[in-house]
Structure 1
Amino acid sequence: MFYPLKFDHKYIEKIWGGNKLQNYRNDLPEVEGQIGESWDVSAQEAGMSIVQNGKLSGKSLKELTSMYPQQILGEEIEAEEFPLLLKILDAQAQLSIQVHPDDDYAAKYSGEAGKTEAWYVIDADEDSYLVIGTEDCTESEFKKAVQNDEINQYVKKIKVKKGDVFFIKAGLLHAIGAGIMLAEIQQSSDTTYRVYDYGRGRELHLSKAMDVIDFKLSSEKRKGLKVCGDDFDYSYFCLNDKFALDIINVKTVYQDQGDQERFYILTVVEGSGKLFYDDQELELAEIDSVLIPAYSEEFRVEGNLKLMKSYIPDLDKNRQQILSVVE
């Protein structure tokens, strides 16, 4: 009964949204503003995923998780709701400089999970950059700079290109720059504290932001650990207690099945192909995502494409698996 699931796309207008998504999809709605986000695997009410294919078509991800928690989430995932959120972001303008809280702070003030996330850069204009972290400032110097419109001297800017991966831990100041489209995997949370918004008139949350910014945190482009194979290469990029992010570079074919302990999400970050299961097939266009339920049957992916694999790991098991590669 359980098989790879594709969902309808839930598009969100944003003041900073762009037009890169039009190069990949033909289902964008006509809106007055710009589309900034596509929520592609989500159990958030603001962008609930609805199954597009197969016998479960029309069911929401929230319904499925409630009806079949073990079969969808997995035997080792203890969560009442689907715990991850997969988005595609398209930024024509700079996002606000912002920060997300950890689980404890978010539970106290917003009643939901904290927000740790990771990014895979799908496309980036020349000289595009991310803001990641602060540099050479104290908490008081930083707060004064925000109030005096002088924040740029205290934020770290990193130029990016297609294929770069970054890990953004809760508490790390960050912003996506103009001209960047990326895939984002994150905890299922919509809590953001804006620190600085370039005078666009939206609400700021400086007090809460200052509570949660960790001025010791920083992040660089992830180097990854690649394991080369004949049919596909497998690279490990992020591993933490919230999620893992791996990249599978499919050269000809990649075969797998559901891991009964945990679900995972496959997102096409480059190229295209087809996914075959039972007597069915799914087209996999660039930036498509597929949820692999824990009890999913065997499947194979054919084509020349890169897949971002997102899941909640067993940290000890994953570390042993990685160590077995390098020993």
Structure 2
Amino acid sequence: MRIYKLKPEFREKIWGGHKFRDIYGMDCGNGLVGEGWLASSLPGKEDNLVIGTEMTLSELYNQHNELFGTHSTEVIPIKFLLADCNQSTSVQLHPNEKYAREIENCLGKPECVFFLDAEPKTIGMYGHNALNKEQFKKMALDGEWEKLLRKYPVEKGDFAYIPAGRIHTTWEGTVILELSRNADITYRVYDFDRVDANGNKRQLDLEKTLDVLICPDNENPFVQPQIASDGDAMIFKYHDIPGEFSAYKVVNNGIGYFSLNEFAYYFIADGSGHIDGTPIKKGETFFVPCKLGKLKLEGDFTILVGSYRDK
């Protein structure tokens, strides 16, 4: 059994830029590309090609579920998405599992983000200062975003956890890798009055936002990892909740080892080398089947890992 390289797909966004091409050498065109769908299998939407199999991720999941293990979801439960925030994203949140299944017929969308790049003095907005939903609604309708949203400084290398229902925006000047449940559902409450190429504003969803909003919400979103090592690999565990997702960073300098029982997605954030003999380089994404055992890492590189377990 081996690891499989995935072919990314891209979306232009009103807030996008050119850093996928400039930093990672990705062939994504010359438009304002905001999203790189690295590992996704959304029904009727992005479904990444598994190179060497002539199958997409969802086809591989349906035909060879033994590579993923047995899971309680009808689709692959997690996805990887790269975002180039040349401008700030909208002020938004994502619904929880119960609400998403009942109202949107999809998975809920808690997420976490690895900050791959951040310009000096960048800030992120996570959570809010309202005491209750009535106060949140009034401040939102009055446009008091500076008072309403909680601000945090952001640096390259940070990791933030964003549960479903947490209001947030990623500020301009950042590149992030987002690990989330496998859904594409966003409720926007403010979009800086921007218009698209046709002069249209994007849809806002204040009422749905209020349905699922965490309130109050003043918790710091940034997470400090648990750190371990195996050979020349330093392993940083940031998040591991059954039924949600697991998030790791692995920094290898020489010959190291890393293992998970569950399937995983690997994004090569920096450097180059080999994983169990497979050549890897910066900007590539791999699907790693479950139960491969301890993988041998050779070279100098950083891997960001997203995985999932039922229990």
TM (norm. structure 1) is 0.87
**Residue of structure 1 equivalent to 2:177:** 183
2:132 touches 2:216 (CA, 8 Å); kept in 1?
no
2:130 touches 2:136 (CA, 8 Å); kept in 1?
no
**Residue of structure 1 equivalent to 2:39:** 41
TM-fit CA distance, 1:199: 0.7
Q: Alpha carbon RMSD of aligned pairs, Å?
A: 1.9
- Supply the distance in 2 between the matched residues of 1:38 and 1:265 (Cα, whole angstroms): 14
TM-fit CA distance, 1:177: 0.6
More divergent stretch after superposition (215-224 vs 239-248): 215-224
- Supply the distance in 1 between the matched residues of 2:259 and 2:149 (Cα, whole angstroms): 43
**Residue of structure 2 equivalent to 1:319:** none
1:253 touches 1:300 (CA, 8 Å); kept in 2?
yes
Aligned pairs for 1:274-293 within 5 A? 274-277=274-277, 281-285=278-282, 287-293=283-289
- Supply the distance in 2 between the matched residues of 1:167 and 1:255 (Cα, whole angstroms): 26
- Supply the distance in 2 between the matched residues of 1:296 and 1:226 (Cα, whole angstroms): 22
2:49 match: secondary structure: coil
1:38 match: secondary structure: strand
TM-fit CA distance, 1:256: 4.7
1:312 lines up with 2:308 in the alignment: yes
- Alpha-carbon distance change, 224 to 95 in structure 1, aligned in 2, over 3 angstroms: same
Amino acid in the other structure paired with 2:275: L
TM-fit CA distance, 1:312: 1.4
1:11 touches 1:28 (CA, 8 Å); kept in 2?
no
TM-fit CA distance, 1:84: 0.6
Deviation track 1:17-60 (CA, whole Å, cap 9, x = no partner) reads 012112234443335x41001001110132111012x3x2x211
Q: 2:59 aligns with which of 57, 63, 85?
A: 63
Identity of aligned residues (%): 24
- Supply the distance in 1 between the matched residues of 2:275 and 2:233 (Cα, whole angstroms): 15
- Supply the distance in 2 between the matched residues of 1:34 and 1:212 (Cα, whole angstroms): 31
- Supply the distance in 2 between the matched residues of 1:256 and 1:233 (Cα, whole angstroms): 9
1:119 touches 1:167 (CA, 8 Å); kept in 2?
yes
1:214 lines up with 2:214 in the alignment: yes
Q: 1:254 aligns with which of 253, 256, 281?
A: 256
Aligned pairs for 1:6-25 within 5 A? 6-25=5-24
TM-fit CA distance, 1:254: 2.9
2:21 touches 2:28 (CA, 8 Å); kept in 1?
no
Deviation track 1:232-283 (CA, whole Å, cap 9, x = no partner) reads 1112111223011122121212335673xx2112222333322234xxx322
- Supply the distance in 2 between the matched residues of 1:230 and 1:299 (Cα, whole angstroms): 12
1:156 lines up with 2:158 in the alignment: no
1:138 lines up with 2:140 in the alignment: no
* Structure 2 runs not aligned, ≥5 long: 195-200
Deviation track 1:141-178 (CA, whole Å, cap 9, x = no partner) reads 22112112222211011111111001100011111110
1:258 touches 1:295 (CA, 8 Å); kept in 2?
yes
- Alpha-carbon distance change, 314 to 188 in structure 1, aligned in 2, over 3 angstroms: closer
Greater strand content: 2
More divergent stretch after superposition (105-114 vs 229-238): 229-238
Aligned pairs for 1:219-230 within 5 A? 219-230=220-231
1:142 match: secondary structure: helix
1:142 touches 1:151 (CA, 8 Å); kept in 2?
no
